[in-house]
């Protein structure tokens, strides 16, 4: 793949909570060069998923030359069973059809949440939820995408989780499913690699796992993947040739994840091998997608 030169880089740390306002959503942006990424102020007290969607659509309308990464899984496992929901005749054929299904079945849910979808009689059989486990949930850690099971898991210090697990602080399923509603509403306004070819101009989306950037900085103690103070954040930023950040009023792992990963993305976007993962096949590209930064 021919490398694309972007002028800006953004990271969106996501949240799957039911509420309207999300302290867990953070958006950081940086430009080419060495200036540290900065947080984008939300239009309200905190970000909402709708506000992030509006921000993305504005970037598309302005045709910004910006690479935007989302910290969520944009699809569910497919390749291992040749279906998202085996035994169900209505199981979608690809990721974009999955996005449409999630959004369609969740129309009654406020704030782009997904309660109705995961409670669908056929869908719920595949998920582990608080107090109950579907009869088709794979025992143990649950089903994983190829980029999780064979890519993320091979990176020291990275422990991927199944999107079919909706239980526990580390679960990623709710974030991923709510993200799919947003992706469906973006439509073709912003191409999402590798589901779509990388566009020659304008914005593009990729999936990111912020822990990859945190571990790549080399400053975190073994077993840790979060930064909660300014000094360590600057040490981590320096690993990606970034200048120190402007001090924050409040340090949260969401804010520091977004800032650090944006600096990492600015460097990683110019590495040809990351756009050509050895395990990425055409089938995976249309059904499961791929985490940028995983070979």
**Cβ distance 8 to 29 under 8 Å?**
yes
Report pLDDT for 154.
74
Q: Cα–Cα distance between 277 and 125 in angstroms, integer?
A: 32
Q: Which domain holds residue 152?
A: 1-295
Q: To which residue do tokens 């001090």 refer?
A: 247
**Cβ distance 269 to 9 under 8 Å?**
yes
Structure tokens at 235: 């040490």
Q: What is the DSSP letter of 50?
A: H
Measured in whole angstroms, the distance separating CA 96 from the mean position of its chain's CA atoms is 16
**Which residues of the chain are modeled with pLDDT < 50?**
none
Measured in whole angstroms, the distance separating CA 104 from the mean position of its chain's CA atoms is 21
Share of the chain above pLDDT 90, in %: 80
Kindly report whether the peptide bond that precedes residue 194 is cis, defined as omega within 30 degrees of 0: yes
SS (H, E, C) 231-250: HHHHHHHHCCCCCCCCCCCC
Dihedral through CA 178, CA 180, CA 183, CA 185, nearest 10? -70
Q: What is the DSSP letter of 192?
A: B
**Cβ distance 32 to 266 under 8 Å?**
yes
pLDDT per position as a tens digit, 56-111? 999 999 999 999 999 999 999 999 999 999 999 999 999 999 999 999 999 999 99
Structure tokens at 86: 């085996």
pLDDT per position as a tens digit, 208-228? 999 899 989 999 887 777 898
Report pLDDT for 225.
73
Number of domains within the chain? 1
């Amino acid at each position: 793949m021919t490398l694309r030169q972007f002028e800006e880089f953004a990271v969106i740390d996501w949240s799957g909570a039911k509420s309207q306002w999300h302290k867990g959503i953070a958006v950081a942006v940086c430009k080419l060069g060495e200036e540290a990424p900065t947080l984008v102020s939300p239009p309200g007290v905190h970000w909402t998923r709708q506000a992030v969607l509006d921000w993305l659509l504005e970037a598309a309308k302005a045709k910004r030359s910006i690479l935007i990464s989302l910290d969520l899984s944009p699809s569910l496992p497919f390749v291992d069973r040749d279906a998202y929901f085996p035994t169900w005749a209505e199981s979608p054929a690809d990721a974009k059809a999955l996005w449409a299904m999630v959004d369609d079945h969740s129309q009654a849910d406020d704030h782009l949440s997904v309660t109705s979808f995961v409670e669908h009689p056929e869908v719920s059989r595949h998920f582990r939820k608080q107090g109950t486990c579907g009869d088709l949930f794979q025992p143990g850690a649950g089903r994983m995408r190829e980029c999780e099971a064979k890519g993320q898991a091979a990176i020291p210090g990275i422990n991927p989780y199944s999107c079919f697990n909706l239980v526990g602080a580390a679960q990623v399923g709710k974030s991923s499913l709510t993200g799919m509603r947003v992706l469906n509403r973006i439509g073709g306004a912003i191409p999402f690699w590798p589901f779509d070819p990388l566009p020659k101009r304008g914005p593009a989306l990729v999936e990111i796992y912020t822990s990859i950037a945190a571990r790549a900085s080399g400053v975190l103690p073994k077993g840790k993947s979060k930064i909660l103070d300014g000094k360590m954040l600057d040490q981590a930023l320096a690993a990606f040739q970034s200048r120190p950040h402007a001090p924050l009023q409040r340090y949260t792992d969401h804010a520091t994840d977004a800032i650090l990963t944006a600096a990492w993305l600015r460097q990683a976007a110019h590495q040809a091998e990351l756009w050509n993962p050895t395990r990425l096949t055409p089938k995976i590209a249309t059904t499961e997608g791929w985490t940028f930064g995983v070979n």
